[in-house]
A = this chain, B = another copy of it.
Amino acid sequence: MNPTLEIFSQGEEVVTGQTVDTNAAWLSTQAVNMGFTVTRHTAVGDKLDDLVALLREISVRADCCICTGGLGPTSDDLTAEAVGKAFDLPLEFDAVAFEQIQRFFTLRNREMPTSNRKQALFPKGAERIDNAWGTAPGFSLQAGRCWFAFVPGVPSEMRHLFKESIQARLASRFSLQPDILVTLKTVGIGESAIQERIRTVEIPTPVQLGFRAGPDEVQTKLLFPHDYPEADMTALVESVSEKLGDTVFAVDGLGQAGGDLVAVVDRLMHAGQHSLAVVETASQGLLAAKCIGLPWLLESRYRQAVVTTGQVGDLPVAAQAIAVKMRNSSGADWVLIQLYEGDQQAFHDKNQAIVLYNGLLTEDGFYQNTRSVAGPINVKQNQAALLALDLLRRHLQHKEL
């Protein structure tokens, strides 16, 4: 039997629906991957009695609980107080935490408001979880049957703290036999098209097949029991991968270097010591923004006037001319250029499609792809950034082979 785990989210913004609780789903995925059985998610607002009641319930029901939110400096942040009241523990001042909070402000040349002192108060017996990502440290403690970890509700801070502190504590406290999850990551192909392609691959009964479509990639997931023979696992992943062809940009879970599309492109650009300049239209800066801080991206340019309403057939000539000019002015080895067919109205209208055209100028030649995308303007924008990056990825992986 796997140990059970619950997720507890605190905050009026969650319970009143102003915030979609993405933390709960993210934490559940992590917990399931580690070998927990997640039994319940609960969200309550910033009301002391509700918090106390819920903490007590969970302490007799679950083996483990991850709690998000309520660690801020303001009067509606009640977690430490609620834990103290629920389990009859006095709050104690933690000098190290206080120093960390002060340092956060000093670093930003700001004076620490007195209200932040509260964030250094923890229930007696709690273990501090340092937070290098924000002002609120977390804490963990055992209460009844349940080991609780309390972390901030800000998703980025929560994720960092989970990865850097909580994961290791969970692994050492619980006896976990996680299933093995292998994820094939693709871009430029939909979930149903993937299903169609792999229909003929036989999936043995103990293996669970699943799909997840996100804005930046579609994931095909194979979940293997922890004692599944490794050779059989590799063979099955290989069969699925073959059917998906070069739409697969990374495979996570087999010890290969995974990550998202940007991470894959970054590794390949770095390895090949290439540099790049980008001309953006439909992605309007988003391609460059996704590559934040990567040293091989020398320049990016968006110009509204570059948007063409011509036919896709005319685009390659125009694109090459702009790319050559951009190479000369930027000093980059390669230029990635993106144009599209379709007017501004089609771009804005979620019910109309535009045809994206991407070109990549390298020392060897000029490579291109086209693709029709539809949906709201920000979906088109994101797809445009991804498809341009994917042209670069395909070219780099092909060279590597």
Given contacts A16-B32, A108-B372, A286-B289, contact A76 B211 (CB under 8 A): yes
Main secondary structure of the interface of A (DSSP, over half): mixed
Which residues of B sit under 8 angstroms from A292, Cβ to Cβ?
Answer: 284, 286, 377-378, 381
Contact of A24 among B21, B154, B287 (CB under 8 A): B21
**Contact between A288 and B284 (Cβ–Cβ < 8 Å)?**
yes
Query: Is A299 a contact of B303 with CB atoms below 8 Å?
Result: yes
Q: Is A304 an interface residue (CB 8 A)?
A: yes
> How distant is the Cα of A352 from the Cα of B103 in the complex, in angstroms?
11
**What 1/0 mask marks residues of chain A from 5 to 44 whose CB sits below 8 Å from any chain B CB?**
0000100111111111110111111111000001111111
How far apart are A7's CB and chain B's nearest CB, in angstroms?
Answer: 8
- How often does this chain occur in the complex, in copies? 2
Q: Which residues of B contact A297 (CB under 8 A)?
A: 284, 304
* A–B Cβ pairs within 8 angstroms, 22 of them: A12-B210, A16-B29, A17-B25, A17-B31, A19-B25, A19-B212, A20-B25, A21-B24, A21-B25, A21-B41, A38-B45, A72-B213, A74-B195, A109-B372, A113-B192, A115-B195, A135-B192, A285-B285, A285-B289, A286-B289, A293-B348, A298-B305
Question: Which residues of chain A have a CB within 8 Å of any CB of chain B?
Answer: 9, 12-22, 24-32, 38-47, 50, 72-74, 76, 107-110, 113, 115-116, 132-133, 135, 154, 156, 190-193, 195-196, 210-213, 215, 280, 283-289, 291-293, 295, 297-305, 330, 344, 347-348, 350-353, 372-379, 381
